Amino acid sequence: MEHPPTLRFSLQLQIFLSFVLSLAFLTTTTTTITQGQEEEEDQFVYSGFSGGGGTGLGLTLDGTATVTPDGVLKLTNGTLHLKGHAFYPTPCRFRKSPNGAVQSFSVTFVFCMVPVYSDQCTDGMTFLISPTKDFSGAQHSQYLGLLNKTTDGKPSNQIFAVELDSSQNTEFDDIDDNHVGIDINSLTSTQVRPAGFYDDKKGGAFNNLTLVSRKEMQVWVDYDADTTKITVTLAPLKVAKPSRPLVSTTYNLSTVLRDKSYLGFSASTGPINSLYCVLGWSLGINRAAPDIDMTKLPKLPRIGPKPRPKAMEIVLPIASATFIFLVGTSIVLLVRRRRKYAELHEDWEDEYGPHRFSYKDLFHATQGFHNKNLLGHGGFGKVYKGVLPVSKLEVAVKRVSHESKQGIKEFIAEIVSIGRIRHRNIVQLLGYCRRKGELLLVYEYMSNGSLDRYLYVQEEEDAPTLDWGRRFEIIKGVASGLFYLHERWEKVVVHRDIKASNVLVDGEMNGRLGDFGLSRLYEHGTDPQTTRVVGTMGYFAPELARTGKATPLTDVYAFGIFILEVTCGRRPIVDKGVEEDDGSEILVDWVVEHCRKGSLMETVDMRLRGSSSDPDEVCLALKIGLLCAHPFGNVRPSMRQVMKYLDGETPVPELMPTTLSYSMMGVLQNDGFSDYASLSATVSSRNGITSSSSFSAGR
């Protein structure tokens, strides 16, 4: 029966196809087998041990050995007196045939020793080739988890190892605690050298290496079957394999190794917490070991104290010292600054808020109370010129030292109330500031200073003086200011310290009264017995010495002295040595004497004579001065009357020379005036402004 042509064709195709298929099958199986043989027995390479589900790519681990998630093979875990092992899972064939010689091989691995707490590690680690993976009988510490006391040195071990020993054990003839050795069946090395390498870049000079340095290092182990030469080479990770090995020996490993042997690592800890790690590993039998991919090596485990760079050991203490120093300095500066600008503030002062200045502002206004801004100093303290920071207003700041708290409340109430006074002949008090032990008073700045500067110029100096017209205007101005204080203001204010240095001259040459009330701060005593009278010698009304009570009439007395002072150009109490012996050194007595003799005009300031001064006005001033300075308070006029006399509205009552003689000179010899008399006798004079022991004066 003949097959149809199509069928015949399909049969041919079938045969052809089955042939092709079986050929393809044969090819695939052979490749699989050769590949498998190569992978399992010829070579392997680990660039890190991650993958394979945490088992370290199938490594056989025991004891303390683990593989970290990063892929570091940790042979020990830091715990003392323990051992750990890691093996390539399958044995490798070292001989071509079971009875042949051991072939050449080469192994390379990257390791690292990490001390946990100190700079030391015990005991060490090995790379090993052994007939078994069972090292349960091996001992830890100096036995490196490789052998034990009974097995050490026995040829039956069939073990080849390279030890990286970080401790010195005399029982194995260790040379030091940092050596590399070739071990055959024994921990007593066949050949050993201190760790290091021959640097090709330096012409083969030997470089020491410290195994325990937390630095990765690479080891190459090579066996040449022809010469039976074993070489071990060590180098830092960055250095290429040195051409000269560190340790080498000749030993026919055919007499040692079994055909099928396991490759692996052992490590053990002794009395110091240590980590022995392997990061990469490769083997080649009868060929070079494949290169480990250094870029894929895992990071070292961060255990124990961080390896601090040398620079940090210097930089860190310096940096922290600097930091502490800076913090300390700024605290000190802050505290000092706070103390520098510290003020006293009490609740009752709240209502005076608008009149309060901050010390800081005053400090900056006066450039830190610099001497170049010093305007002068009087009985209560120094006066500085200043410019307020924001308003650029020119001020005079008076620093008054004030220790006691007593009376400060009343005083501040008074100065704040006085501060509200606006009068063209009164220096305005702008405000105050209080600190511990001192009070600062802020006044309007008077560009022409105090009047005494114009009255008492040194004779040699051709300094400016004031003509009579100006002087008379100033007298009138001061009178008007004082009148305002006594009678026009909402309450009676007694100035208490009228004198030429407290009359200031403003830019338009107006006389202005300043410094009122200050003496009150010092007068305040707890009981009348100790109440002190404060003021300036020469301006004291006689009754003030006895009663201690300042009244408008004691102000009038001082004003009288002031008029005489301005007219005569002499200080109220004149230095004896300077003046010719033409009368008393007391100004008022001297004028009275002349008045009695009818030669009143001789008392007028030399610089005013012969000039354009009006003799009637001068005489009027002298008479008003004498009247105001009358020893009897009830004879003195009020400021209202003084104003009228000065304006010529009312004639000055004529002081009869006899009356004068009686009331002034006569009274001085009287008992009632012993105080006054003794005062004038015991005056110790300096600058015409003096104090005596019978007064507790402010200076």
Ligand X SMILES: *[C@@H]1O[C@H](CO)[C@@H](O)[C@H](O)[C@H]1NC(C)=O
Binding site for ligand ATP (CB under 6 A): 375-380, 383, 396, 398, 427, 443-446, 449-450, 497, 501-502, 504, 514-515, 536
Identify what 273 binds: Mg ion, ligand ATP, ligand X, none; CB under 5 to 8 Å per kind: none
Residues 6+ apart with CB under 8 A from 646: 475, 476, 479, 620, 624
- By CB under 6 A, is residue 103 in contact with ligand X? no
Tally of residues, the chain: 699
With CB cut-offs between 5 and 8 Å by kind, which of Mg ion, ligand X, ligand ATP, none does residue 97 bind?
none
Give residues 347-406 in contact with Mg ion (rule: CB under 5 A): 378
Interacting span for Mg ion (CB under 5 A) from 92-100, 247-255, 417-425, 502-510: 502-510
628: left (phi over 0), alpha (psi -120 to 50) or beta: alpha
Q: Report whether 398 belongs to an annotated binding site.
A: yes
Q: How far is the CB of 445 from ligand ATP (least distance, A)?
A: 5
The residue at minimum Cβ distance from ligand ATP is 378
- Residue pair 666/676 in contact (Cβ under 8 Å)? The answer is no
How far is residue 217 from each of residues 195, 208, 356, measured CA to CA in Å?
11, 13, 77
Residue 554 C-beta: closest distance to ligand ATP, Å: 15
Distance CA 231, CA 248 (A): 4
Q: Which is nearer to ligand ATP, 138 or 383 (CB)?
A: 383
Total binding residues for ligand X by CB under 6 A? 16
* Closest chain position to Mg ion (CB): 515
List of long-range contacts for 384-388, beta carbons under 8 Å, 24+ apart: 385/445, 386/362, 386/445, 388/361
Identify the residue among 18, 29, 252, 322 touching ligand X (CB under 6 A).
Answer: 252
Q: Which of 60, 90, 103, 148 binds ligand X (CB under 6 A)?
A: 148
Contact 542, 455 (CB under 8 A): no
Look at residue 252 and give the partner it binds from Mg ion, ligand X, ligand ATP, none, a contact being a CB closer than 5 to 8 Å depending on partner kind. ligand X
From the CB of 623, what's the least distance to ligand ATP, in Å?
27
Whichever of 122 and 502 has its CB closer to Mg ion, that residue is 502
Q: Hey, which residues does 432 pair with through a beta bridge?
A: 356, 441
Interface characters, 604-623, with ligand X (x: CB under 6 A): --------------------
Q: Which amino acid is at 607?
A: R
443 binds, among ligand X, ligand ATP, Mg ion, none (CB under 5 to 8 A by kind): ligand ATP
Task: Let me know the angle formed at the C-alpha of 169 by 163 and 171, rounded to the nearest 5 degrees.
Answer: 105
Q: Is 150 in the site for ligand X (CB under 6 A)?
A: yes
**SS3 (DSSP) at 129:** strand
C-beta of 71 vs 379, nearer to ligand ATP: 379
Query: How many other C-beta atoms lie within 10 A of the C-beta of residue 195?
Result: 23
The mark string for 197-216 relative to ligand X (x by CB under 6 A, - otherwise) is -----------x--------
Cβ–Cβ < 8 Å for 449, 375? yes
Catalytic residue among 123, 174, 222, 497: 497
Sheet with strand 429-435: strands edge to edge:
374-377, 381-387, 394-401, 438-444, 429-435
Among 452, 506, 515, 555, binds Mg ion (CB under 5 A): 515
Q: Which stretch binds ligand X (CB under 6 A): 26-34, 71-79, 502-510, 535-543?
A: 71-79
Find the binding residues for ligand X in span 293-322 (CB under 6 A).
none
CB of 609 to Mg ion, least distance (A): 30
Shortest reach from residue 429's CB to ligand ATP, in Å: 9
In our burial notation (b when 16+ CB lie closer than 10 A, e otherwise), range 598-618 reads eebeebbbeebeeeebeeebb
DSSP letters, 296-314, are GPPPPP--SS----HHHHH
Size of the site for Mg ion (CB under 5 A): 3
- Residue of 228, 248, 465, 531 that binds ligand X (CB under 6 A): 228
Between 83 and 355, name the residue whose CB sits nearer to ligand X.
Answer: 83
CA 672 vs CA 100, 590, 668, 678, 682: distances in Å: 148, 21, 8, 11, 17
Asked if 497 is an active-site residue, the reply is: yes
| Partner from Mg ion, ligand ATP, ligand X, none binding residue 254, C-beta < 5-8 Å depending on class | ligand X
Helix (H, G, I), strand (E, B) or coil at 376: strand
Is 519 a binder of Mg ion (CB under 5 A)?
no
Write each residue from 51 to 70 as x if it is in contact with ligand X (CB under 6 A), else as -, in one continuous string: -------------x------
Neighbours of 455 (CB within 10 A): 22
Rounded-to-integer distance, Cα 512 and Cα 379, Å: 19
Task: Name the DSSP class of 515.
Answer: -
Q: Exposure pattern of 5-37 as b/e (b: 16+ CB <10 Å)?
A: eeeeeeeeeeeeeeeeeeeeeeeeeeeeeeeee
Cβ-based nearer residue to ligand X, 77 or 266 = 77
Among 191, 273, 373, 502, binds Mg ion (CB under 5 A): 502
- Rule CB under 6 A: choose which of 27, 118, 255, 406 binds ligand X: 255
Residue type, 302: R
Residue with Cβ nearer ligand X (40 or 199): 199
- Residue list for the binding site for ATP: 398
Q: For binding to Mg ion (CB under 5 A), which residues are involved?
A: 378, 502, 515
Q: For binding to ligand X (CB under 6 A), which residues are involved?
A: 64, 77-79, 82, 101, 137, 148-151, 208, 228, 252, 254-255
Q: Which positions are annotated as active-site residues? A: 497
